[in-house]
Structure 1
Amino acid sequence: MAWPSRQLLLAMLCVVAASVLAAQAAGADDARTKKVGVYELRMGDFCVKVTNWGARLMSVVVPDSKGNLADVVLGKDTIAEYFNDTSYFGPITGRVGQRISRGRFVLDGKVYHLERNDGRNTLHGGGTAFSKSAWTVKEHVAGGESPYITFYYHSVDGEQGFPGSLDAYVTYRLSGPYTLGVHMSATAPDRATPVNLLLHAYWNLGGHGSGDVLGHTLRLHASRHAVLDGELLPSSGRVAPVAGTPFDFREPTAIGARIRQVMGGKVVGYDANYVIDGEPDGMRPVAEVRDVASGRAVELWANQATMQLYTGNWLNHTKGKDGEVYDQYAGFTLETMGYVDAVNHPEFPSQTLLPGQEYKHDMVFKFSF
């Protein structure tokens, strides 16, 4: 029997999954799905799928060293499953990603109280709004020399407890062979407000259902890390060298080499915040990751001050896509952003956006094999 061509396999990976998601969306509650769609960007055998539900990255299909195609992003089969997802598979989170201590902060002398969804604290803005809403599709060019899609979200004054309204945009763009750019921007039309958007995508370069990522080698351009407490908050405000600690990835090191020596909150694994070397406002290298078995590698560049490395510590027989089940360490995240809980730490660079300013967050993923 003749095996399908590489191009046909790519089409099967991209189109079949998109059809399943679209069909499921059509059968779900109309009030939640009538504006939700699945969108493809393609450049040769490089295929990316996104949805405007949470401006979410759903899949990235790339070849390995032998030309075999695989989806290297963890996720769900149906949009309906993303509605109730608590693992944050692929969305843009905001207004403030990561944690805010006690779900409160003070701005211009006023105390603001947020949705608490992580014990006593707020995680990823509170669990609603940005990652749990349908964004507007502003532009979509599926093919050509630089396929891209731009999503827009208007956050109203008081949403999640934050002051003022916010206009947020996210563009996913294929800017070259096996290069994915993620470009976030925001403006605050009327009042000052904290902003710290991040992409919460889980990666596994062996393929999303290929097991754990402990054998992936990781290099980070970070000689310091923000010291986090048991609630994964920088309560001391300290930034410490990584030298001589299990957090040191300045040289390529297997993710699992020292993972048993760190606690990502209440479980074993990395949930650590790194301060990226170099000027905080310029594009610079953040990380390189390689899966030796497949030969796939990814290089990340960004313009943010810090990056949160998370190793899927809380995944526990979690239902994924294509019939796969994700267990602990099935994927890793590289969440570039400003400092964690900056709204409560004047010693950290401010994440408060003023009217007339523009927030800009750029990431570029360069895949190779």
Structure 2
Amino acid sequence: MKTLKLTIAALIILSTMSLISCSTKTSEQKMSIEKAPFGKLANGQEVDLYTLKNAAGMEVKISNYGGIIVSWTAPDKNGKYEDVTHGCDSLEGYIKGTPFFGALVGRYGNRIAKGKFTLDGNEYTLPINNGPNALHGGLKGFDKRVWAATPVDGEEPSLKLTYTSKDGEEGYPGNLSVEVVYTLQKDNALKIDYKATTDKATVVNLTNHTYFNLSGSSDILNHEVTIKADKFLPVDETLIPTGELKPVAGTPFDFTTTHKVGERINDSTDTQIKFGGGYDHCWVFTDSTKALKLVASVYEPTTGRFMEVSTTEPAVQFYTGNFLNGSVIGKKGVVYGRRSGLCLETQHFPDSPNKPSFPSTVLKPGETYQTTTVYKFSTK
């Protein structure tokens, strides 16, 4: 009888262990990183595509070419997951050229006036690639480089990308070592951690340039946006900030309360709207601390999708796809027309190297550039 009791106890223990093992295996299947080939460059260099999955069902596909977010699924109010970003089906599409769909942007995100700045008494000249100005790191910025990719062990799927930008690359001084970590969290949030160091004084302003459309429809005009910013940066005709910090109150740039994108985007009486062809400006957050804080949100009423943006950065470039013109054929043959996507690019101010009154973007040897941005999806 004693032997029988021991045998039954052993079976119970073994059964419990089996259940734990199965549970762990199921969890691992749901939350993972998968690697697959994504194509080759003209020089034969191979490029990969990494799929990050969480247990909730969200998937984010990231290429080590440009650190590009190729696709990103989010649930609607019925629990259906769909891709909510602009992009291409293949590497070839990105090589042909896109307006920075999903890309890591650097060494300096946004515009630098006339492609020139002075640092420590030395003038540096950058490639001109946006009217008379330099934009998003140059002709071959970080968005067109192959990054070293390493999956990171942890409770949540993470992908670490590293790249060393050599002294003089695209005109910028210093050897800049960059690390970007994408982490897909359990709560359907994607956290992006940026880090950089240099061996010579330089300027740095890193961001991600994902275009979002939470509805799957042809435009984003019915998306409802909130931005916790009481000031924005007016620009000249070439979209370079004038240096003024202008209150948003009483202007089409006031998103301190929620407004639909299309509500005031064609205000013909506003000079700034005319210059941008809509919204293509930098908003300065009311909370200027370097702590991670909620700064913006986007709601799409048809699907119920709700995206919140938190960051340690002082500002965000809100861009409404005004220059998209249907020339890029995207995923599944979709034509991306004007205002078909919006961007919320967390960052420092544009043209800061030429604006002493703006927060500095100078990085010196011995210092570490470090910022974090989180995009979180839910429904309401």
Please give the TM-score of this superposition, normalised by the length of structure 2: 0.87
Is 1:285 aligned with 2:291?
no
Poorly superposed stretches of 4+, deviation over 2 Å:
28-31, 138-141, 262-268
Q: What secondary structure sits across from 1:90 in the alignment?
A: coil
Instruction: Tell me the equivalent position of 2:254.
Output: 248
Q: Does 1:319 align with 2:334?
A: no
Q: CA deviation at 1:83?
A: 1.4
**Of 212, 217, 231, the match for 2:224:** 217
Q: Which residue of 2 aligns with 1:339?
A: 349
- Counterpart position of 2:237: 230
Looking at structure 2, the residues matched to 306 and 232 of structure 1 have their Cα atoms a distance apart, in angstroms, of 16
Partner of 1:272: 281
1:258 aligned residue (264, 271, 277): 264
1:202-261 Cα distance to aligned partner (Å, 9 max, x none): 001113xx2101000000000100111111111x31001000000011111101100002
Worse-superposed segment, 342-351 or 168-177: 168-177
- Superposed, 1:130-209 pairs within 5 Å as 130-140=142-152, 145-188=155-198, 190-207=199-216
Alpha-carbon shift at residue 266 of structure 1 (Å) = 5.1
Which AA in structure 2 matches 1:43? Answer: N
Unaligned runs of 5+ in 1: 1-10
Cα displacement (A) at 1:127: 2.8
Q: CA RMSD in A?
A: 1.8
Match of 2:92 in 1: 80
Give 2:49's aligned residue.
38
Max Rg structure: 2
CA distance in 2, matches of 1:181, 1:232: 29
Alignment of 1:106-145 (within 5 A): 106-140=118-152, 145=155
Structure 2 CA distance, aligned partners of 1:267 and 1:62?
29
Mark the runs of 5 or more structure 2 residues left unpaired by the alignment.
Answer: 1-29
- Answer whether contact 1:96 1:197 (CA < 8 A) is retained: yes
Instruction: Assess if the C-alpha contact under 8 Å between 1:167 and 1:187 holds in 2.
Output: yes
Distance 1:108 1:340 in 2: 20
- AA at the equivalent of 1:41: L
- Secondary structure of 2:61's partner? strand
1:364 aligns with 2:370: no
The 3-state SS of whatever aligns with 1:80 is: helix
2:103 to 62, 77, 91: 91
One-letter amino acid matched to 1:105: F
8 Å Cα contact 1:264/1:313 also seen in 2: no
One-letter identity of the residue aligned with 1:289: V
Q: In 2, Cα distance between the equivalents of 1:169 and 1:337?
A: 16
Question: Is the partner of 1:343 in helix, strand or coil?
Answer: helix
Q: How many angstroms does 1:264 deviate by? A: 5.7
Residues 132-153 of structure 1: CA distance to partner in whole angstroms, max 9, x if unpaired? 1100013345xx7310100000
Give the drift of 1:182.
Answer: 0.8
User: Secondary structure of 1:326's partner?
Assistant: coil
C-alpha separation between the residues in 2 aligned to 1:257 and 1:265?
Answer: 15
The 2-side partners of 1:241 and 1:206 are apart by 31
SS in 1 for 2:94: helix
2:16 equivalent in structure 1: none
Deviations along 1:86-120, whole A, 9 cap, x unmatched?
Answer: 41101111110000001000001011101111121
After superposition, what is the alpha-carbon deviation per residue over 1:175-215, rounded to whole angstroms, capped at 9, x for unaligned?
22211101111001x211000011010001113xx210100
Separation (CA, whole Å) in 2 of partners of 1:252 and 1:87: 27
Letter in 1 for 2:94: Y
Distance 1:84 1:312 in 2: 19
What SS is found at the alignment partner of 1:125?
A: coil
SS where residue 286 of structure 1 aligns? strand
Q: Secondary structure at the match of 2:263?
A: coil
1:8 paired residue number: none
* Whole-Å separation in 2 of the counterparts to 1:196 and 1:95: 6
- Matched-pair contact (CA < 8 Å) for 2:239–2:276: no
Q: Which amino acid aligns with 1:218?
A: V
Count of residues paired in the alignment: 343
